[in-house]
Amino acid sequence: MDNMNQPRGSSQRDAKSPGAIVLGGSFVGLGLVRSLGARGVETWVVDTDRSASIARFSKYTKRYILAEDPYQWLLREGHQHRLNGWVVFPVTDYFVDLLAHHHESLSSIYKLTTPPIEVTRFALDKRLTYRRAQELGIATPWTRLGDGPPDEIEKSLQYPVILKPAINHHFFPHTNLKALPASNASEFQQRYAQMRKYLPPEEILIQERIPGDGENQFSLCAVCEKGRPYATLVAQRRRQYPVEFGNASSFVETTRQAVVEREGRRFLESIEFDGMVEVEFKFDPRDGRYKILDVNARPWGWHTLTRGAGADFAYLLWQQKVGGAPRSVPMQHEAAWLREITDFLAIAKSPRRGAEIRALLKAVRERRLTLATFDLWDPIPFFAELGLWAFQGPARRRKARAPLAGYVDDLAPGRIVS
């Protein structure tokens, strides 16, 4: 049953000041709530899982709803509370998929920050991501489908490889894992069998493992209108957790990389993407190429880095959707982002602890550091997350280890969202 908390304030909405609905209350959603709420945008949070929903504790969240069926809730509440013109932001791929598939009916009420499925499919399904990139001449990792006999597939492989889902939200919610590494034939057979518990063969991707850790990963982040990026930022993943095979970034810095900027723009323009997006690349030292890995058609884990750099993508997108004319917005200064709850663990496990600590202190000294959850003026979500991780972390580690025994002993103590 939906938690039908009533909104604070009148149910009569001023059409000139539409609010926002954030689908997902993780630290990613918290960043959206703070960006919008601090500017006076009435913001509601809707989630299907209370266990990681820390945004409900923010002073900027005017209403929190636990909904079993978010689509039906959006339709019902949109009419009941006259939410015409309100802007809807998805936080996870599950919510992106929901908005994309119900785009026509929901667009009759809301302004959606997710394009219809004809566009978002190129982000949600990596098979289509890589196919479009290859058509454009953008470098991709060597990849094949797992839709054949495992013994025959194994003969075509050069190790190490990784196995990952073509559609992430068909796998990650069950395991808290994004990919499985295999260094030899025995590991491949085991990992393949493990993934088949959750995915059909045609949704399993076997991909070369590009050498290098998180520092080889770069992203073009953008806000687009009909394929035209009008605000962009390039960032580099400096640290990740787990350290050797990270589920998510823990320390990210802005940088300059012309190839990533150019190729990311070309991809987005080709699919006429509209909204907020991250295009991930990894530098391959073997051939000197930046290879596209993933496209997140939604706010990603460290999207608040854009606020630290002087161009808050979340607020820019809200302005665009409520009728503001997009204009070119340059990054004003360098910035860094830190995921407090995992980055100190990443530093402790790093072989370059001294250099990592110096980089962190430099960002603090220059006052260019954005934190994922801690905010002096909105502190409760941070302490709520600490409490949730302390109580639920062991159970989640068992959840990941049970079906995927032997994969990794370095799992973060909770759900990680990129």
Using a pLDDT cut of 70, give the percent of the chain over it: 89
Pairing of strands 143-145, 204-208: antiparallel
pLDDT digits (tens, 9 = 90+) for 70-81: 999 999 999 999
Alpha-carbon distance of 157 to 350, in angstroms, equals 30
110: nearest Cα among 52, 46, 61, 66: 46
Q: Which residue has the tokens 């496209």?
A: 295
Q: Residue 258, class by beta-carbon neighbours within 10 Å (0-12 exposed, 13-18 middle, 19+ buried)?
A: exposed
- 174 pLDDT exceeds 90? no
Q: What is the mean pLDDT of residues 91-105?
A: 98
Confidence band of 110 (pLDDT split at 50, 70, 90): very high
Q: Is 34 left (phi over 0), alpha (psi -120 to 50) or beta?
A: alpha
pLDDT digits (tens, 9 = 90+) for 217-252: 999 999 999 899 999 999 999 888 876 655 689 999
The predicted structure's pLDDT at residue 9: 40
User: From start to end of 180-318, where are the E strands?
Assistant: 180-182, 204-208, 217-225, 228-241, 248-255, 275-284, 289-296
Domains parsed from the chain with CATH numbers: 20-114 (3.40.50.720), 142-209 (3.30.1490), 214-377 (3.30.470.20)
416 vs 392, residue with greater confidence: 392
Q: How far is CA 343 from the centre of its chain?
A: 17
Under DSSP, is residue 137 helix (H, G, I), strand (E, B) or coil? coil
Q: How far is CA 338 from the centre of its chain?
A: 15
In sequence order, the 6+-apart residues with CB closer than 8 A to the CB of 177 are: 171, 247, 400, 404, 407, 408
Rg (CA), the chain: 21
415 vs 184, residue with greater confidence: 184
Alpha-carbon distance of 60 to 74, in angstroms, equals 20
State the pTM of this model: 0.90
**Amino acid at position 24, single letter:** G
Confidence band of 117 (pLDDT split at 50, 70, 90): very high
In contact, 270 and 373? CB cutoff 8 Å: no
Pairing of strands 111-112, 143-145: unpaired
- Give 306's Cβ-side CA count (13 Å radius): 30
- 161 pLDDT exceeds 50? yes
Confidence band of 409 (pLDDT split at 50, 70, 90): very low
pLDDT digits (tens, 9 = 90+) for 130-149: 999 999 999 999 999 999 88
Q: How far is CA 185 from the centre of its chain?
A: 32
- Give 401's Cβ-side CA count (13 Å radius): 14
Q: What is the chain's length?
A: 418
Under DSSP, is residue 130 helix (H, G, I), strand (E, B) or coil? helix
Q: What is the signed CA dihedral for 111, 114, 117, 118, rounded to 10 degrees?
A: 90
Q: Which residue has the tokens 């409900």?
A: 56
